[in-house]
Amino acid sequence: MGRTDKTNYYLDIAETVLERGTCLRRNFGAIIVNHDEIISSGYTGAPRGRKNCIDLGYCVRESLGVPRGERYELCRSVHAEMNAIISAARDEMIGATLYLVGREAKTGEYVKNPAPCSLCKRLIINAGIIRVVARTGEGTFSVTDVGEWVTDDESLSGKFGY
C-alpha cells in the first residue's frame, strides 16, 4: 500500500469532517491548513443550539422548491467553509489553503463541480486564504487560486456552490 499524498490526506480529513453534517441536501466538510498544520475545521449545520434539518425532518428550501444556489437566507445551515473560518484566527489563515469535500445527502455521491457559494467566497477572500482545493472524485481534486475571485468579480455574483 502506497503512502497517501498530502493533498488527498487533507481532503480525506475534510471528508471525515463532513460526516458530522446535518443538511438534508448536501453535506460539506472543510479544513483550513497553513504551514502544514490544520488550523480549523467546519461542517454544514445549524447554528449552535438550534435544531438541525435532520432533527426536524425537513428542509425549508427543499419544501419550497428553491433551487440550489438561491435564497440562502431561508437555509438553517451555516456552510462548512463559514464554520471553519469563524473557528480560526485571521492571522493563522493568511496564506492558508482550504480543503473542501461535499457529498449529496441522499445518494452519498461526491458533489459535482464543488465550489464555495458567492458568500463563502467573500469570507474566504477576507480571511486571507489563498487557495481552495475541492475533491471532485475518489482521489481527484480541483485547485482554485483565490486571487482569481478578486480579479474576476463576476465569480461572486453567480449561482455557484451548494
Give the residue ranges of DSSP H helices in the chain: 6-18, 53-56, 60-63, 80-86, 90-93, 118-127, 147-151
Task: Enumerate the β-bridge partners of residue 27.
Answer: 103
Count the neighbouring beta carbons within 10 Å of the beta carbon of residue 92: 16
> Integer distance in angstroms from the first to the last C-alpha of the chain?
35
Q: Which three cell numbers stand for residue 128?
A: 486571507
Determine whether 81 is an active site residue: yes
User: Strand pairing partners for 131?
Assistant: 97, 145
Instruction: Identify whether the C-beta of residue 22 lies closer than 8 Å to the C-beta of residue 44.
Output: yes
Exactly one of 81, 92, 109, 148 is catalytic; name it: 81
Dig out the grid coordinates for 136 from the structure: 471532485
HSE toward the beta carbon, residue 50, CA cutoff 13 A: 11
Which residues are identified as catalytic? Answer: 81
